[in-house]
Structure 1
Amino acid sequence: MKQKLLALAAAVSLIAGVTVQAADTVKIGLMAPLTGSWASEGQGMKKIVELLAEQQNAKGGVLGKQIEVITEDDGGDPRTASLAAQRLTTKGVAAVVGTYGSSVTEASQAIYDEAKIPQIANGSTAIRLTEKGFKHFFRTAPRDDEQGRMAAQTIGKLGFKKVAILHDSTSYAKGLADESNALLKKKGTEVVFFDALTPGERDYTTILTKLKGANPDVVLFTGYFPEAGLLLRQKKDMNWKVPFIGGDATNNADLVKIAGKEAAEGYYFLSPPQPQDLDTADAKAFLDGYQKKYNELPPSIWAVLAGDGFKVMVAGIAGAKSTDSGKIADYLHKDFKGYSGLSGAISFDAKGDREGEVYRVYKVDGEGKFVLQKL
């Protein structure tokens, strides 16, 4: 009996110790593709969030406590993402930042909503993500219908009359392709090709040959940067000089590494502002700090938008004066207006979508740099 009592006392002491320890910090989860084809995005997200947490902790943290970032790798895969989300729901996080891909975010949404944990995605632009009525879901990224309008507008301004649309069947790419297709046809632009490739393949000459046969003035590719880079490289190998325009998921420095500078030159893409084009004092100070710590700039704006997600959640906890998830979500929906983020002013509508126009047009120059266009 004495041994049982001692064991029970030890267990109670351990549980109490864990509770006290958990109460010593405010935990914010980060779900990111640290491995897989989008690893450069995920690693950038992790670096930014950790740097911002370090800076916030130096200022006293939030609610008088230090912030602890709990990171899970979603691998850029919906199946891995659901497991990562389930793990984060068991670790006492007050909120979750991430993730990058729309289909990956979609696999985690219901899990966080059921656990009543606010989630703020950074690269997930698919329209349907905020059409489900999840109270705890937000995003710092804009929606694809806004991007679709920008794509149709840009194609018109550049004078292209015949458009081929290529997607990869993911939630993001298919949604953007459908939206752009409808808007282009409404404007009277001829869509001469609409089909999908299979992401992750190494040879796209077959689909490129089909595209070439449709004789478009321009190809709108709505998939991600690894495939875009291969398409540009293999298009050059075919000596096919038709211009390509990409969606915001092609905004990554690895696009040029995969394609090569010569093949990437002239490529257009739509995106929120590049990190180097962020012009607020806060953004410039942050980028200086990031470069000093990591000796590089962030890989893309999507990693910066994860940083904005972290800042939003910290502001939400401070504004709600609580780590209660319901109170944080209520505060972000009702009282969080015009917050000065790294990427500009941030507010949310009733669905959790970011308000305001964010997209810009970029073109890759001969040095492989992404240059902001004024069309």
Structure 2
Amino acid sequence: MSHGTRRRTRTLQLAAAASLILVTAGCSGGLGGDGGGGGDADGPISFGMLAPFSGSESAFGAYMENGAQLAVDEINADGGVLGRELQLVVEDDACDATTAVAGANKLVTDGIVASVGGYCSGATLPTLPIFDEAGIPMVIPAANANSLVEEGLPGVFLINGTGTQQAAAAVQYAEQIGATSVAAIDDATAYSADLAASFVEQAADAGLDVAFEATVTPGENDYSAVATQLADEQPQLIYWTGYYQEGGLIARQSSDAGFAGAFLVGDGSVDAKFAEIAGDGYTDNVVGTFTQTPDMIEGADDWIADYTELAGAAPGPYSTQSYDAVRVMAQAIEDAGSTEFDDVVAALEGLDGFETFAGPLTFTESHTLSGGGFVIVSIDPATGAFVLKDDLQG
């Protein structure tokens, strides 16, 4: 891959996002900035993280920051990166595109040399041209819409399974339980729509009957229209690909309307708040597609203890992926012997079997994982937390 031509012509989507960029994004920070991240050869190396620290998804921001900080602390205790201390700089993106653009520009101005954040795909997508123009490579720990890598930007790498891979796990589970009719509901956000479309396509290819598809507006309280449609059509499995606020309401309202099939949710809904919103007695049929959390990973007890000591609370979703995002980026810089964009990208592409929580990592040509690593989780009625149900290996 040629990295000298990375400032290529954008599609309309990225061009629109780039129009939001502040004028400082292309001329300050990054590798040449004076914020201490890369310009001072003796100063700290700064990694930036955009994550939701406000808004409905704020719990995930704390998990991500603490996981990343644990990796930073361990790396510094072992001598740092290229003999320099590593530091983490965080900004709130609130899972909102406009807020994310402002946060990305702030990180560039602060002189970060790499990005290790990204939770909501819709908020992460418009930051891609900002970091690309600034020469900042990205290892994205959570956001996983296919659109993140479809542009082929050289500095974008995903260490969470893609929407295509997650949809494949959903289809596999549908077949496993003998479902022959399925439905998909999304909330029109980039992540949700991408996952739903991929599920519908793969379900049809597998010979399943797609009973219906629907898109809802996030933030509402009444989803009785789609709940009634679910009850009327009675697909054997519905895949909700949005977030837990709306998902919990749809699960409750569809059950009240008479839907009796499996209610499968995507990883954006895998949180204990889903059960809290749905209410007692409304989650018996709820399962989810998800990558494994620390409590599901064999041999993670020591890591969980270290995280809990740092954070004062147990780790949650995307804490391990954020931990690994820092480690992957740090290893690439160490291998490159440099923080220069082209050198780091080449080193990321050259990683071969680097050990992560998801297993040995080697990036594909499109800078994604070779395997998604998705499992099926269900809700523990005693705690409301999602727990491992099926690793899909049988």
Alignment TM-score, normalising by the size of structure 1: 0.89
* 1:243 CA drift (Å): 2.3
CA distance in 2, matches of 1:313, 1:99: 14
- Cα distance, 1:147–1:201 mapped onto 2, change above 3 Å: same
Check whether the contact 2:219–2:246 (CA below 8 A) recurs between aligned residues: yes
Task: State the match for 1:286 in structure 2.
Answer: 303
SS at match of 1:262: coil
Write out per-residue CA displacement over residues 6-26 of structure 1, whole angstroms, 9 at most, x where no aligned residue.
xxxxxxxxx999798784211
Which of these residues, 381, 386, 389, is aligned with residue 366 of structure 1? 381
Segments of structure 1 that go 5 or more residues without pairing to the other structure are 1-14
Write out per-residue CA displacement over residues 158-202 of structure 1, whole angstroms, 9 at most, x where no aligned residue.
111221211111111111111111221222211111010111222
Write out per-residue CA displacement over residues 17-61 of structure 1, whole angstroms, 9 at most, x where no aligned residue.
979878421111111111111111111111211222122222222
Task: State the match for 1:163 in structure 2.
Answer: 182
* 1:356 CA drift (Å): 2.6
Task: State the match for 1:217 in structure 2.
Answer: 236
Segments of structure 2 that go 5 or more residues without pairing to the other structure are 1-32
* 1:221 CA drift (Å): 0.7
AA matched with 1:277: M
CA distance in 2, matches of 1:17, 1:198: 41
Check whether the contact 1:164–1:214 (CA below 8 A) recurs between aligned residues: no
- Cα distance, 1:22–1:213 mapped onto 2, change above 3 Å: farther
The answer to whether the aligner puts 1:343 opposite 2:362 as a matched pair is no
Bigger drift between 304-313 and 338-347 goes to 338-347
Check whether the contact 1:99–1:123 (CA below 8 A) recurs between aligned residues: yes
Bigger drift between 362-371 and 39-48 goes to 362-371
CA distance in 2, matches of 1:260, 1:308: 34
Check whether the contact 2:43–2:85 (CA below 8 A) recurs between aligned residues: yes
CA distance in 1, matches of 2:39, 2:160: 36
Equivalent residue pairs, number = 357
SS at match of 1:264: coil
The answer to whether the aligner puts 1:80 opposite 2:95 as a matched pair is no
Bigger drift between 239-248 and 144-153 goes to 239-248
SS at match of 1:361: strand
CA distance in 2, matches of 1:277, 1:116: 37
Which of these residues, 248, 251, 255, is aligned with residue 229 of structure 1? 248
Task: State the match for 2:315 in structure 1.
Answer: 298
CA distance in 1, matches of 2:208, 2:280: 30
Task: State the match for 1:316 in structure 2.
Answer: 332
1:41-56 equivalence runs, <5 A = 41-56=60-75
* 1:96 CA drift (Å): 0.5
Check whether the contact 1:29–1:70 (CA below 8 A) recurs between aligned residues: yes
Task: State the match for 1:114 in structure 2.
Answer: 133
SS at match of 1:120: strand
SS at match of 2:69: helix
CA distance in 2, matches of 1:326, 1:21: 19
CA distance in 2, matches of 1:159, 1:17: 57
Which of these residues, 327, 345, 361, is aligned with residue 329 of structure 1? 345
CA distance in 2, matches of 1:254, 1:339: 34
- Cα distance, 1:17–1:190 mapped onto 2, change above 3 Å: closer
* 1:276 CA drift (Å): 0.8
SS at match of 2:94: coil
Check whether the contact 2:271–2:385 (CA below 8 A) recurs between aligned residues: no
1:123-134 equivalence runs, <5 A = 123-134=142-153
CA distance in 2, matches of 1:54, 1:285: 15
Higher Rg of the two aligned structures:
1
* 1:261 CA drift (Å): 4.7
- Cα distance, 1:357–1:74 mapped onto 2, change above 3 Å: closer
Write out per-residue CA displacement over residues 89-113 of structure 1, whole angstroms, 9 at most, x where no aligned residue.
1221110111001111111111111
SS at match of 2:282: helix
Task: State the match for 1:265 in structure 2.
Answer: 284
Bigger drift between 340-349 and 87-96 goes to 340-349
CA distance in 2, matches of 1:197, 1:222: 11
Alignment TM-score, normalising by the size of structure 2: 0.85
SS at match of 1:360: strand
1:34-73 equivalence runs, <5 A = 34-73=53-92
AA matched with 1:372: L
- Cα distance, 1:243–1:16 mapped onto 2, change above 3 Å: closer
Higher-helix-fraction structure? 1
Check whether the contact 1:127–1:144 (CA below 8 A) recurs between aligned residues: yes
Check whether the contact 2:293–2:316 (CA below 8 A) recurs between aligned residues: no
CA distance in 2, matches of 1:161, 1:139: 32
The Cα RMSD (Å) is 2.2
Check whether the contact 1:123–1:141 (CA below 8 A) recurs between aligned residues: yes
Write out per-residue CA displacement over residues 213-264 of structure 1, whole angstroms, 9 at most, x where no aligned residue.
2222221111122221222233345464332011122222322232235322
AA matched with 1:317: I
